Structure 1
Amino acid sequence: MEYLLTIWAWIRHKVDTAIHSGIPLVFWVRPWWSADQMPDQTGKTIFVTGGNSGTGYSTCLAFYNAGATVYLACRNESKAQKAMEEIKKGGEINFWGFSYPKRSQEQRDRRKGRLEYICLDLTDLESVDKCADAFLRKEKKLDILFANAGIMATPEGQFTKQGYTLQFGTNVLGHHRLISLLLPLLLSSPPTNPSRVIISSSAGHSMAPTGGVNYQSVIRDPSHPKDLDKPRQGKHELNKWDEYAQSKWGDIALAKWLNYQHGDQGRLISIAVHPALAATNLADSLGFAAPLKDIPWLVALITFPAKVGALNQIWAATLALPDAWYLNGEYIVPFQKIGVARPDLNDRKKVEELWSWCDEQAKKWV
């Protein structure tokens, strides 16, 4: 019987992934909620990694328009300043740049929030520590942390400053460290208004290795040449798509661990989201992405705009209590639906192993 239940769980996961993959071609799956429906966020403090582009920018725009104090966390200050200028002008980001839709008088009169830049390089754990320290010196509360930034399918042979594969180091280790450092502040919120951690994942987590993460593969092999022009000699590194998949599996595991540890206490809501296939710079590392900019109709056929890709995480972050409690530890798929994550993510031991391993790595460098 247990074997049959396992098979059924995998079938449900595969079917749900196919239907809610976030590709516009699945024409009957569309958003039923918009950012205009989000409640007033005046007085809220929001932290968004990768807030200068893509879904992160759209998230910052939505919360700024709703009156929140929004921290754009990224490593390039000039790009962050440009993004903040565009947000103040009401610019919506797309595959080709910015557009400026007409706004109603009510929208123009709405009280705006406050924008702050904070330096964060997720590929460097020292930078993550400095970022968290700078934020904690400025703010006494944090209502929503969006672990939004990420990279996809970057070439093999690229590593973080501390020697972890670039995708896993950025998508998982960097965010794990940031969450850990900001966790005491997040947990200081009252149960009547618990803080939330929203972590971006992907349907691609389905293709992660057996067990979720091959930990040996994400640590730089000593035999790997420092000169990246030389042939790759690492024995254990996965190909770029498997590496991406295990990093996205890890992102869901982070959300589930937070729920296991703090959800029952009523002190925190943690949610993983799949944003849909959105037209952002996430695909910049893919050679075929650049030519698509010359074929707008094809872009619209296979991707959603960034503002649509941001809806899942904005919705998860603002859904009112008590409904929001039902999302705790869940994986949200396009659109505004609790999805079926890969069955092994329901294995608490595997989830706890991921968090513990990340903890152990951080201790080596701080």
Structure 2
Amino acid sequence: MAIFSSLAYNWQHCVNHVGIPLFFWRRPTWSVRQMPDQSGKVVLITGGNSGTGYATALALYNAGANVTIACRSLDRAREAVDDIKKNGERSIWGIRYNSRAPEAENKVGTVDVLELDLADLGSVQRAAEEYKTRVKKLDLLYLNAGIMGTPEGQWTKQGYTLQFGTMVLAHQRFATHLMPILLSPRPEPARIVTLASFAHNLAPTGGIDYLSLIRHPDDVPNPDGSLKRGKNEQERWAEYGQSKWGNIALARYLAATYDPKELIAVAVHPGSLSTNLSNHIGAFAWLMSKAQWALSPLHFSPSDGALNQIWAGTLPFPEALELDGKYVTPFNHVLEPRGDLVGEEGKKKAVELWEWCDEQGKKFQ
């Protein structure tokens, strides 16, 4: 009986967090048609050229927002902008261009691009400084860009593990550089939405193994040029887990530090998705590319996966105050993350992470 109870609890826990679409009770109950008018809102989305980032950019553009998508490749960013303007909905099946009603055409906002390489802290600072010359206020920042399960032995330009360096350290530095325009006076608080995951449960005990994040002097590729796991580096899935743990901790830190009438921070988990995140996962990536039609019932589309972050970013004020510092799972469900992110322990660990990121970032300013 004890074994059955444990299995039942963990199964329900997984379904609550992951939201596999085969389970009817985890279908979306909210759609972008319920989103309030976003005319005049200024929105910046990292990784807005694909996946949930693209779907978020499309929805907010159609609602009247002034959207900027920030990504490494300007060519891919400009292609995404063209598709957004044509109302192109992307999925595993390709892209479908939907016509807009005349009144909808008159409602759309603007969309442009910003060059940002999250694997290079120099690029992060340059992008933030450039963006601050374009706008005087930023209403909504999506720290959306991500990678998943990249092989061990890959590092950012400054020598941090690729997953954590990209998804946590670079995003923390980007948000820090943008804080003046996030905190500029306005009628309603700005928002930051970080992309988390149920996979934060894969993080090492205590959350983050800081020693594992920095390349050791002995960490060099094999003689044949192939990648080699770093001396202190975590296994790739533990690395992904501590990166997503870090995304939740960033939101928790911001919520604990800033008055929610100035800034609201939310961590969201999009669910199990069909996106290009699995490109690095060897045989699984190959299987996904060959059998998307068979596996699609187990995954949400990028448009469905984006609903959580769109909802969190546009929920009317003051209702949105209830989301400050929370972890939101599919769909629109606030749940507690892992225990070491909760309570006083969680606050201390969030401060530790933020201060570590500050310390690392200042080395390269």
- Mapping of residues 190-269 of structure 1, within 5 Å: 190=186, 192-226=187-221, 229-230=225-226, 232=228, 234-264=230-260, 266-269=261-264
Match of 2:30 in 1: 33
Q: TM-score if structure 2 supplies the norm length?
A: 0.92
Query: Which amino acid counterpart does residue 49 of structure 2 have in structure 1?
Result: N
Identify if the C-alpha distance between structure 1 residues 131 and 231 changes in structure 2 by more than 3 Å, giving closer, same or farther: closer
Q: What SS class does the counterpart of residue 28 from structure 1 fall into? A: helix
**Is 77-86 or 281-290 further displaced after alignment?**
281-290
Contact 2:154 2:227 in 1 (8 A): no
2:46 equivalent to 1:79: no
Q: Distance in 1 between matches of 2:58 and 2:269?
A: 19
| 1:303 aligned partner | 299
Offset at residue 112 of structure 1 (A): 1.2
Aligned mate of 1:129, from 125, 132, 135 = 125
> Cα RMSD over matched residues?
1.8
Judge which range, 49-58 or 297-306, deviates more: 297-306
Q: Secondary structure at the match of 1:263?
A: coil
The one-letter code matched in structure 2 to 1:350 is K
Tell me, in whole angstroms, the C-alpha distance in 1 between the residues paired with 2:322 and 2:247: 19
1:168 alignment counterpart: 164
Distance in 2 (CA, whole Å) between partners of 1:231 and 1:323 is 48
Q: How many residues align?
A: 353
Identity over the aligned pairs, expressed in percent?
Answer: 48
| Aligned-partner SS, 1:145 | strand
Displacement after TM superposition at 1:12 (Å): 8.3
Change (3 A) 1:13 1:168: farther
Contact 1:195/1:267 (<8 A) preserved: yes
Q: Does 1:353 align with 2:346?
A: no
Q: Residue 231 of structure 1: CA displacement?
A: 6.2
User: SS where residue 63 of structure 1 aligns?
Assistant: helix
Counterpart mapping for 1:1-366 below 5 A: 15-101=12-98, 103-104=100-101, 106-107=103-104, 109-190=105-186, 192-226=187-221, 229-230=225-226, 232=228, 234-264=230-260, 266-287=261-282, 288-346=284-342, 347-366=346-365
Counterpart CA distance in 1 for 2:313 and 2:227 is: 44
Deviation per CA, 1:52-111: give whole Å up to 9, x if none: 00000001101111111110100101101100000011100112421124555543x442
- Alignment-mate amino acid for residue 152 of structure 1: M
What SS class does the counterpart of residue 20 from structure 1 fall into?
A: helix
Q: 1:231 to 1:279 in 2, by over 3 A?
A: closer
Deviations 1:304-325 (A, max 9, x none): 1100010000000010112100
Task: Tell me what 1:3 maps to.
Answer: none
Q: Is the 8 A contact 1:122 1:174 kept in 2?
A: yes
Segments of 4+ in structure 1 off by > 6 A?
A: 11-14
Compute the displacement of 1:27 (Å): 2.7
- Unpaired segments ≥5 residues, structure 1: 1-10
Q: Distance in 1 between matches of 2:142 and 2:315?
A: 15
Over 3 Å counting, the alpha-carbon distance change for 1:14 and 1:220 in structure 2 is farther
**CA-CA distance at 1:15 after TM superposition:** 4.5
**Which stretch shows the higher mean deviation, 159-168 or 231-240?**
231-240
Secondary structure of 2:231's aligned partner: coil
Q: Measure, in 2, the Cα distance between the counterparts of 1:231 and 1:154.
A: 11
Query: Separation in 1 of the partners of 2:133 and 2:77?
Result: 20
Q: Is the 8 A contact 1:31 1:335 kept in 2?
A: yes
Segment of structure 1 superposing worse, 94-103 or 25-34: 94-103
What residue identity is the alignment partner of 2:322? Y
Structure 2 Cα separation of the partners of residues 181 and 33 of structure 1: 33
Equivalent AA in structure 1 for residue 245 of structure 2: W
Query: Which residue identity does 1:304 align to in structure 2?
Result: F
Secondary structure in 1 aligned to 2:156?
coil
Unmatched 5+ stretches in structure 2: 1-7
Contact 2:16-2:329 at 8 Å conserved across structures: no
Q: Aligned residue for 1:5?
A: none
1:95–1:281 Cα contact (<8 Å) kept: no
Letter in 1 for 2:360: Q
- 3-state SS of 1:338 partner: strand
